[in-house]
Amino acid sequence: MPAIVLVGAQWGDEGKGKATDLLGSTVDYVVKFNGGNNAGHTVVIEQDGKREKYALHLLPSGILSPNCTPVIGNGVVIDLAVLFEEIDGLEARGVDTSKLRVSANAHLIPPYNRTLDKVAERFLGSRRIGTTGRGIGPTYADKMSRIGIRVQDLYDEHILRQKVEGALAFKNQVLVKIYNTRAADVDEVVTELLSYAARLAPMVSDVSLELGQALDRGDTVLFEAGQATLLDVDHGTYPYVTSSNAISAGACTGSGVPPTRIDSVIAILKAYTTRVGEGPFPTELHDDHGEFLRKTGDEYGTTTGRPRRCGWLDVVVGRYATRVNGVTDFVITKLDVLTGLDKVPVCVAYDVDGVRHDEMPVNQSDFHHARPIYEELPGWWEDISRCRTFDQLPENARRYVLRVEELIGARVSAIGVGPGRDEIIGRHPLNPRPPQHTE
């Protein structure tokens, strides 16, 4: 069975949990390979006739599948307080979390990095990035500066203390002398981090080895990205990005599984576009249509509760996602939100100072000044939430999907028509094609 990478094709919040659900019992492992608790996703499950909603932040969505092993890879940064709060919340609702595996090489978010994140954003003022203030960026910066604290450091107190002392020798100068904030205390930080060590110990694993062995056995491994393509630190709308690699290639560096083992890449594309935080957004709507999408789509952050910025679908972004991720299959989500519109505009290109761009401009200034060139497609009024085959969709909804498929350059294999895990239409299998063997 295959290794599958699941990514967001826009700025996040596309509904990756629904695609994970669609793969269902065929998935043996779900691996979160990047990011931290600065993003989340919502999974809606029918239980005993009731619709249960689960908001996940650090934990991969596989935590909700009894037969699946959820994994936090080395590319994730972990706030241990948040991790155990999330685990406790799920266990209180009867979810078994005992199979969770955590990479020994994953970096931890120390309390001083949360402080730095918040005060730095305030200090930047109008130039702020729009971070969640959860210490994600400073922790990734520590990782690259080689002063970070890893999960395995919890099990050698001498090493842990040395690392905290080394980091705070500089960071306390910044906190006190630049930001006029109280210095962090080494003993307090070490004590807080060590308080989680015993509970975490049974979960700690050599994730690279474990996943390699799983693939050797023929298990199916799903790599689930946090954030999305345009938030990737290298390939997103820099500097308004996250601090990790959220494209498909990040699955390899964030888990220790080589690229030769990846079989397919599934990208999630919302039927319109949203983003949270600062940065350019060519199709953003500041009118009644934007408010319609926000209210109808319930576009408020899973982690932050912030209202999301909303706009029409941007297939220039979709084509870019196809290219940089090597997308084999798209899942379009929230098609039902577009119901009731006379016309549904789709951005097919940009106008930058009178020059048409059919692909993402390489210059960030051009992207900031890009104006959308729209193609209007006819809308539909019929309720599509009960549709379970493509042919059951209204003609104009089908035309919308087929035109988007044509424009983004990869097949649309599934379509979300409602928030429930069963409210989805499958057009093509999401499992990759069997490997081609030559004599």
Q: Cα 230–232–237 angle (5° rounding)?
A: 45
Tell me how far apart the alpha carbons of residues 15 and 340 are, in angstroms, rounded to a whole number: 21
CB 247 within 8 A of CB 324: yes
Q: Tokens 């379009």 appear where?
A: 332
185 an active-site residue?
no
Tell me how far apart the alpha carbons of residues 77 and 113 are, in angstroms, rounded to a whole number: 12
57 an active-site residue?
no
Catalytic residue among 41, 57, 107, 235: 41
Q: Which residues have a Cβ under 8 Å from the Cβ of 69 and sit 6 or more positions away? A: 28, 29, 30, 62, 99, 100, 101, 214
Query: What is the sign of the dihedral through the CA atoms of 226, 228, 232 and 237?
Result: negative
CB 229 within 8 A of CB 16: no
- Amino acid in position 76: V
Catalytic residue among 13, 21, 79, 117: 13
CB 103 within 8 A of CB 203: no
Query: What is the sign of the dihedral through the CA atoms of 9, 13, 17 and 18?
Result: negative
Q: To 10 degrees, the CA torsion angle through 224, 229, 234, 235? A: 150
CB 150 within 8 A of CB 109: no
Structure tokens at 144: 């690259």
Q: Could you list the active site residues?
A: 13, 41
